Amino acid sequence: MKESVETLNNNALHLAEKGSYDEAIECLKRALTLDPLNHLIWFNLGVTFRDCGMMKEAADSFAKAHDIDEDEESYTDALAITRMNMGNIDEAMQLCAEALTRNEMNARIWNTFGVLYFNKNEMDLAAEAFEKAVMINPYYYDALYNLRDTYEEMGNKDGMNLCIKQMKLIKQNKGASNA
Protein backbone atom coordinates (compact mmCIF):
# COMPACT_ATOMS: atom_id res chain seq x y z
CA MET A 1 0.00 0.00 0.00
CA LYS A 2 1.37 3.38 -1.05
CA GLU A 3 1.65 6.09 1.61
CA SER A 4 -0.23 9.30 1.00
CA VAL A 5 0.23 12.76 2.47
CA GLU A 6 -3.27 12.61 3.93
CA THR A 7 -2.72 9.23 5.59
CA LEU A 8 0.63 10.26 7.01
CA ASN A 9 -0.87 13.52 8.31
CA ASN A 10 -3.79 11.71 9.94
CA ASN A 11 -1.44 9.15 11.51
CA ALA A 12 0.77 11.96 12.80
CA LEU A 13 -2.18 13.76 14.38
CA HIS A 14 -3.27 10.56 16.09
CA LEU A 15 0.25 9.84 17.34
CA ALA A 16 0.72 13.40 18.62
CA GLU A 17 -2.62 13.23 20.42
CA LYS A 18 -1.31 10.16 22.29
CA GLY A 19 1.96 11.96 23.10
CA SER A 20 4.06 9.95 20.65
CA TYR A 21 5.74 13.08 19.30
CA ASP A 22 8.84 11.48 17.78
CA GLU A 23 6.72 9.13 15.69
CA ALA A 24 4.36 11.96 14.72
CA ILE A 25 7.29 14.09 13.60
CA GLU A 26 8.62 11.22 11.48
CA CYS A 27 5.22 10.78 9.79
CA LEU A 28 5.03 14.49 9.00
CA LYS A 29 8.58 14.54 7.67
CA ARG A 30 7.74 11.57 5.43
CA ALA A 31 4.66 13.47 4.20
CA LEU A 32 6.88 16.43 3.34
CA THR A 33 9.09 14.22 1.18
CA LEU A 34 5.94 13.53 -0.87
CA ASP A 35 4.72 17.15 -0.91
CA PRO A 36 7.36 19.63 0.32
CA LEU A 37 5.12 22.67 -0.31
CA ASN A 38 2.16 21.44 1.73
CA HIS A 39 1.58 24.31 4.14
CA LEU A 40 -0.79 22.28 6.34
CA ILE A 41 1.86 19.60 6.91
CA TRP A 42 4.42 22.29 7.79
CA PHE A 43 1.90 23.83 10.21
CA ASN A 44 1.11 20.48 11.84
CA LEU A 45 4.83 19.80 12.15
CA GLY A 46 5.18 23.16 13.91
CA VAL A 47 2.36 22.32 16.30
CA THR A 48 3.94 18.96 17.08
CA PHE A 49 7.36 20.48 17.66
CA ARG A 50 5.78 23.15 19.88
CA ASP A 51 3.82 20.60 21.89
CA CYS A 52 6.97 18.62 22.65
CA GLY A 53 8.93 21.74 23.60
CA MET A 54 11.11 22.10 20.51
CA MET A 55 10.47 25.81 20.00
CA LYS A 56 13.14 26.61 17.41
CA GLU A 57 11.96 23.74 15.22
CA ALA A 58 8.35 24.84 15.77
CA ALA A 59 9.19 28.39 14.72
CA ASP A 60 11.04 27.14 11.63
CA SER A 61 8.07 24.96 10.62
CA PHE A 62 5.52 27.72 11.23
CA ALA A 63 7.73 30.10 9.22
CA LYS A 64 7.78 27.63 6.33
CA ALA A 65 3.96 27.27 6.43
CA HIS A 66 3.71 31.08 6.58
CA ASP A 67 6.10 31.50 3.64
CA ILE A 68 4.06 29.09 1.53
CA ASP A 69 0.70 30.66 2.44
CA GLU A 70 1.18 34.05 4.10
CA ASP A 71 -2.54 34.81 3.84
CA GLU A 72 -3.40 32.00 6.29
CA GLU A 73 -3.68 34.02 9.48
CA SER A 74 -3.50 31.04 11.84
CA TYR A 75 0.03 30.39 10.56
CA THR A 76 1.01 33.99 11.25
CA ASP A 77 -0.53 33.86 14.72
CA ALA A 78 1.21 30.58 15.61
CA LEU A 79 4.54 31.94 14.38
CA ALA A 80 4.09 35.20 16.30
CA ILE A 81 3.24 33.38 19.54
CA THR A 82 6.20 31.04 19.11
CA ARG A 83 8.55 33.94 18.43
CA MET A 84 7.19 35.68 21.54
CA ASN A 85 7.77 32.55 23.63
CA MET A 86 11.33 32.49 22.34
CA GLY A 87 11.82 36.09 23.48
CA ASN A 88 11.60 37.66 20.01
CA ILE A 89 8.88 40.17 20.92
CA ASP A 90 9.75 42.70 18.20
CA GLU A 91 9.61 40.06 15.48
CA ALA A 92 6.29 38.79 16.85
CA MET A 93 4.90 42.34 16.84
CA GLN A 94 5.99 42.83 13.25
CA LEU A 95 4.23 39.61 12.22
CA CYS A 96 1.01 40.75 13.92
CA ALA A 97 1.22 44.20 12.35
CA GLU A 98 1.66 42.65 8.89
CA ALA A 99 -1.27 40.30 9.45
CA LEU A 100 -3.50 43.19 10.51
CA THR A 101 -2.67 45.09 7.32
CA ARG A 102 -4.18 42.14 5.44
CA ASN A 103 -7.17 41.73 7.77
CA GLU A 104 -7.80 44.22 10.53
CA MET A 105 -10.86 42.22 11.65
CA ASN A 106 -8.89 39.23 12.97
CA ALA A 107 -9.70 39.09 16.68
CA ARG A 108 -7.09 36.42 17.35
CA ILE A 109 -4.26 38.57 15.95
CA TRP A 110 -5.49 41.55 17.98
CA ASN A 111 -5.45 39.34 21.08
CA THR A 112 -1.90 38.21 20.34
CA PHE A 113 -0.89 41.84 19.77
CA GLY A 114 -2.39 42.65 23.18
CA VAL A 115 -0.40 39.88 24.83
CA LEU A 116 2.76 41.25 23.26
CA TYR A 117 2.06 44.76 24.53
CA PHE A 118 1.15 43.35 27.96
CA ASN A 119 4.50 41.54 28.09
CA LYS A 120 6.23 44.81 27.20
CA ASN A 121 4.31 46.45 30.08
CA GLU A 122 2.58 48.84 27.66
CA MET A 123 -0.83 48.53 29.27
CA ASP A 124 -2.63 51.28 27.34
CA LEU A 125 -1.70 49.65 24.03
CA ALA A 126 -2.47 46.19 25.40
CA ALA A 127 -5.93 47.33 26.49
CA GLU A 128 -6.56 48.91 23.09
CA ALA A 129 -5.61 45.68 21.28
CA PHE A 130 -7.75 43.50 23.57
CA GLU A 131 -10.65 45.94 23.22
CA LYS A 132 -10.43 45.62 19.43
CA ALA A 133 -10.44 41.82 19.72
CA VAL A 134 -13.54 41.95 21.93
CA MET A 135 -15.22 44.51 19.68
CA ILE A 136 -14.75 42.13 16.74
CA ASN A 137 -15.88 39.11 18.77
CA PRO A 138 -17.68 39.91 22.05
CA TYR A 139 -17.65 36.19 22.92
CA TYR A 140 -13.87 35.80 22.65
CA TYR A 141 -13.25 34.54 26.17
CA ASP A 142 -9.44 34.64 26.05
CA ALA A 143 -9.44 38.27 24.92
CA LEU A 144 -11.91 39.19 27.68
CA TYR A 145 -9.75 37.38 30.21
CA ASN A 146 -6.67 39.24 29.00
CA LEU A 147 -8.53 42.55 28.94
CA ARG A 148 -9.71 41.96 32.50
CA ASP A 149 -6.13 41.36 33.64
CA THR A 150 -4.94 44.45 31.77
CA TYR A 151 -7.65 46.60 33.34
CA GLU A 152 -6.66 45.20 36.72
CA GLU A 153 -3.02 46.23 36.11
CA MET A 154 -4.25 49.69 35.11
CA GLY A 155 -6.53 50.03 38.13
CA ASN A 156 -9.64 50.23 35.93
CA LYS A 157 -12.13 48.49 38.21
CA ASP A 158 -15.19 49.40 36.12
CA GLY A 159 -13.66 47.90 32.98
CA MET A 160 -12.51 44.87 34.93
CA ASN A 161 -16.03 44.29 36.27
CA LEU A 162 -17.56 44.59 32.79
CA CYS A 163 -15.17 41.92 31.55
CA ILE A 164 -16.01 39.65 34.48
CA LYS A 165 -19.73 40.10 33.79
CA GLN A 166 -19.31 39.22 30.10
CA MET A 167 -17.13 36.22 30.95
CA LYS A 168 -19.81 34.90 33.33
CA LEU A 169 -22.45 35.28 30.63
CA ILE A 170 -20.31 33.32 28.18
CA LYS A 171 -19.81 30.53 30.70
CA GLN A 172 -23.55 30.45 31.52
CA ASN A 173 -24.51 30.31 27.83
CA LYS A 174 -21.94 27.59 27.21
CA GLY A 175 -23.32 25.58 30.10
CA ALA A 176 -26.90 26.08 28.86
CA SER A 177 -25.98 24.94 25.35
CA ASN A 178 -24.37 21.78 26.76
CA ALA A 179 -27.48 20.89 28.77
Query: Cα dist. 2→12, 26, 29, 42, 107 in Å?
Result: 16, 16, 16, 21, 41
- What does the radius of gyration of the chain's CA atoms come to, in whole angstroms? 19
**Which of 153, 154, 158, 81 minimizes the C-alpha distance to 112?**
81
Q: How does pLDDT run across 43-95, given as a tens digit for each residue?
A: 999 999 999 999 999 999 999 999 999 888 999 999 999 999 999 999 999 99
Coil, helix or strand for 35?
A: coil
Query: What is the crossing angle of helices 107-119 and 123-136, to 10°?
Result: 170
- Helix or strand holding residue 72 (H, E): none
Q: Indicate the pLDDT class of residue 175, thresholds 50, 70 and 90.
A: low
Q: Model-level pTM?
A: 0.86
CA dist., res. 38 & res. 95, Å (int)? 21
Query: What are the structural domains of the chain?
Result: 1-104 (1.25.40.10), 122-179 (1.25.40)
- The C-alpha atoms of residue 47 and residue 132 are separated, in whole angstroms, by 27
Give pLDDT tens digits for 111-161. 999 999 999 999 999 999 999 999 999 999 999 999 999 999 999 999 999
